[in-house]
Amino acid sequence: MPSVVLLVPGDLQTRTGGYGYDREIVAGLRDRGWTVDVLSLDRSFPTPTPAARAHAVAALAALPEHTPVLADGLAFGAMADEAEREGARLRFVGLVHHPLALETGVSGEDADRLFESERRALATTRGVVVTSAATVASVLPYGVPVDRIAVVRPGTAPAAVATGTRDAGGPDTPVELLAVATLTERKGYDVLLDALAPIARLPWRLTCAGGDTLHPPTTQALSAQVARLGLADRVAFSGSLDAAALDAAYDRADVFVLPTRHEGYGMAIAEAVARGLPVVSTPTGAIPELVDDTSGALVPIDDVAALTAALTRVVGDDAERRRLAAGARARRATLPTWTDAARQMADALTRFAG
């Protein structure tokens, strides 16, 4: 029976796209007959405390020789010393959602430090799994040969087409905008709020569904921005939602919007397409593969004016929004499944770790 240890920081049940990917891969591999053990490191990664490093050293040392280890980059990229210590004994396969040094808001000095750490860690691997073709290009500068990189795109669970709110409620009913992402600088919520302020005359409401504790400075800044722009009665931060509440939020939505600054893939975008929602976003990660001009609008990163123009169209023109919704519904069948992802991951692990 094939087996692998998944190395992750913190709680695998954490509600972010990366952890969601890991959970689905674990479930999919187990369905295929694999034995998958989850090794949770301290949640302080990728900026581990000394105690977190000591725990990681002991946890890796306790694994039997030749154990295949699928190491999530959120921890592994900050574990150069530990990876080099165990690289000849364990069979590391890196899992890079996006390189740590590319996180928005990382200073130049910290980016250089993270780049070097992740480069050293990835040098100990037998192969690297990434979640999109765009991430292949991000990993190549780390010295990973292209023949040791496998793309395993996230799957998308089947979902019912969103009912929406606007069409059922009439011309005075606000268009329900939905953004699903953790409140971090990278997700571009600040740009979204600035883009919405000039169209306050139009009928819209925005729900921001995502964890608000990962980066408190961003959460505080967004709350202050909402107050400064006078949007407190139009914007709701709902925090991290459980599965049922998130499904309900998608079902109420008329448009999905997320002007993200960087994505390895864009799982929330795929989930919106699965529900037939028009998408307004940016051309990063795999988003251009998920959204085209028949199903949404992609605007340049950090371009507030372009985002305002796109939102004006989807909020102010019912016919245009319905056209894009029809395009999104047509694209639902093209989305990969989690069964596809588990098969591809099993193939990659077998190829790299034996």
- Weakest mean pLDDT among 26-35, 102-111, 220-229, 265-274: 102-111
Residue 75 CB neighbour total at 10 angstroms: 27
| pLDDT score at 224 | 97
| Contact residues for 29 (Cβ-Cβ < 8 A; gap 6+) | 4, 36, 342, 345, 346
| pLDDT score at 189 | 97
Rounded Cα gap, residues 336 and 20, in angstroms? 15
Q: Which tens digits make up the pLDDT trace of 104-134?
A: 777 788 899 999 999 999 999 999 999 999 8
Which residue blocks in the chain are alpha helix, DSSP H? 17-31, 50-61, 73-76, 80-86, 108-123, 133-139, 166-169, 189-196, 216-229, 243-252, 267-274, 287-290, 304-316, 318-331, 338-353
- Whole-angstrom CA distances from 147 to 20, 69, 86, 143, 352 are 27, 19, 23, 12, 10
Residue 233 has pLDDT above 80, yes or no: yes
Q: Tell me the domains of the chain and their CATH numbers.
A: 3-155+336-353 (3.40.50.2000), 166-334 (3.40.50.2000)
User: To which residue do tokens 């990728």 refer?
Assistant: 46
Nearest by Cα to 206 from 224, 194, 219, 218: 194
| pLDDT score at 104 | 74
| pLDDT score at 304 | 98
User: Is the preceding peptide bond at 283 cis, omega within 30 degrees of 0?
Assistant: no
**Is-above-0.85 flag for pTM?**
yes
Please list the residues that pair with 37 across neighbouring strands: 5
Residue 1 has pLDDT above 90, yes or no: no
**pLDDT confidence of 354, banded at 50, 70, 90?**
confident
Q: Which tens digits make up the pLDDT trace of 164-211?
A: 999 877 778 999 999 999 999 999 999 999 999 999 999 999 999 998
Rounded Cα gap, residues 264 and 98, in angstroms? 5
Q: Which tens digits make up the pLDDT trace of 62-108?
A: 999 999 999 999 999 999 999 999 999 999 999 999 899 988 777 78
Q: Which two tokens stand for residue 253?
A: 């939505």
**What's the half-sphere exposure (Cβ side, CA atoms, 13 Å) at 21?**
28
* Residue range 299-308: mean pLDDT, rounded: 98
| pLDDT score at 48 | 94
Rounded Cα gap, residues 282 and 343, in angstroms? 29
Rounded Cα gap, residues 16 and 267, in angstroms? 10
Residue 309 has pLDDT above 90, yes or no: yes
| pLDDT score at 130 | 97
| pLDDT score at 14 | 87
| pLDDT score at 192 | 98
* Residue range 270-296: mean pLDDT, rounded: 96
